[in-house]
Structure 1
Amino acid sequence: MMRWLLLCLVPFPALADAVVANRVIRAGQVIATEDLSVVEAVIPQSVTDIAAIIGKEARVALYPGRPIRAEQVGPPAIVQRNQVVSLSFVSGTLAIFTEGRALDRGGIGDVIPVVNLGSRNTVQGRIMPDGSVSVSPSEG
């Protein structure tokens, strides 16, 4: 008499690394190595590479033991709210340079509202590595 062995294959989610905060990290604080730990857990949409967020700034408060998602961190702010910044608009051969007042804070690559101090118009501009704000035809 032959016996049959019945195998049930049940899919189990594979454990992966997830980055969690070791302490409360307030919005605006730059994240350091000692602020983070890696745990083995199935946490959808969480950051899995600790090196990817070292030196970034918390966009929201991060709490101990909770997973960190990519949208919760970003580049450190180099422009502060109400800071006077160089404002530029370049389109083809037309180039306009003036000063503006930032209406929000942000890091390199962030798009923020800026009041043109000459015209008092509010425009949207991208923060450049030197701290100036560039307005393009699609963002302005």
Structure 2
Amino acid sequence: MMLGLMLAVPAAMSAGAAEFGAGVPGAEVGRMIRTAMAEAGEVVPDFADPVRAFPPCEAAPVVRPRQGSWATAEVICDAPVWSRAVRTGAMAPALPAAAPVPEEAGPMVVTLARSVPRGAMLTAEDITLAAAGPRGPDGIFTNPADVIGRRTKAAIGEGKPLLLRQLEPVWLISKGNPVVLVAKAGGLAVSAPAEALDDGGMGDVIRVLNLSSQREVKAIVTGRNSVTAQTNMR
């Protein structure tokens, strides 16, 4: 199965369900994602259902892989328009090992097989491996898996090696996902369930909703779906 596949699968609705005017329950969201992954031929991992219901939707939302990977599923409603991301933990297929090249040719680096515009999501068909030469640029990639599914910040020409600064960042936390909120005070640490209100990478400050108190707080991203509240943030 190609890694670049952008398959949008209509989420099957349970018997008798015609709309979600009061919101889409977390358990139903999980069922939709598992059904979509199974219909796409993916191995469905064991992942938790969203802790809160998603917003109302006039019809069954659509489920598709985010940026070509089922590691994160996107749940999309057309009316009213909204989308949410849910991490499934699915693993991307392993890529074949690159053939060895003479040492003088330099390392094999990820290079564009065709020109791509700004904002394009990179697929396996967009890239190839090519020798960088003895003096390759900084911030290059040697593993195609590190770039497939990511979006470009600018248009890039065919034959150009991909650089880190040319790609959008990888989020450790996606808006709408459940996170663990840790608060530290006086040498003690207390955790609470929360919902991310922003995307965030390591060290970013994002907004989260404390589900126990229903209060919005700012916190620092400290890991995958983990944040630490900062008492001095306003």
Residues 175, 198 of structure 2: 8 Å contact kept: yes
Instruction: Describe how 1:55-94 pairs up with structure 2 within 5 A.
Output: 55-56=146-147, 58=150, 60-61=152-153, 63-65=156-158, 66-73=160-167, 76-91=170-185, 93-94=187-188
Corresponding residue for residue 21 of structure 1: 112
Matched, 1:95 2:186: no
Alignment of 1:25-64 (within 5 A): 29=121, 35-40=127-132, 44-47=137-140, 49-51=141-143, 54-56=145-147, 58=150, 60-61=152-153, 63-64=156-157
- Whether contact under 8 Å (1:31, 1:54) holds in the other structure is no
Match of 1:124 in 2: 219
Q: TM-score, normalised by structure 1?
A: 0.53
Could you tell me how far apart the structure 1 residues matched to 2:120 and 2:200 are? 10
Q: Aligned Cα RMSD in Å?
A: 4.3
Give the number of the structure with larger relative contact order, counting CA–CA contacts within 8 Å between residues 6 or more apart.
1
Distance 1:101 1:28 in 2: 29
Aligned to 2:228: 134
Larger Rg: 1
Partner of 1:6: none
Q: Secondary structure at the match of 2:208?
A: strand
Query: Which segments of 5 or more consecutive residues in structure 2 lack a partner in the other structure?
Result: 1-104
Q: The residue matched to 1:79 in structure 2 has which SS? A: coil
Per the alignment, in what secondary structure is the counterpart of residue 184 of structure 2? strand
More strand by share: 1
Distance (whole Å) between structure 2 residues aligned to residue 91 and residue 25 of structure 1: 48
Q: As a proportion of its length, which structure holds more helix?
A: 2
TM-score, normalising length from structure 2? Answer: 0.36
User: CA 1:126 to 1:33, structure 2 compared with 1: closer, same or farther past 3 Å?
Assistant: farther
Q: CA deviation at 1:87?
A: 0.9
**Aligned residue type for 1:21:** L
How many residues of Structure 1 are paired with residues of Structure 2 in the alignment? 122
Q: Distance in 2 between matches of 1:139 and 1:25?
A: 39
Gaps of 5+ in 1: 1-14
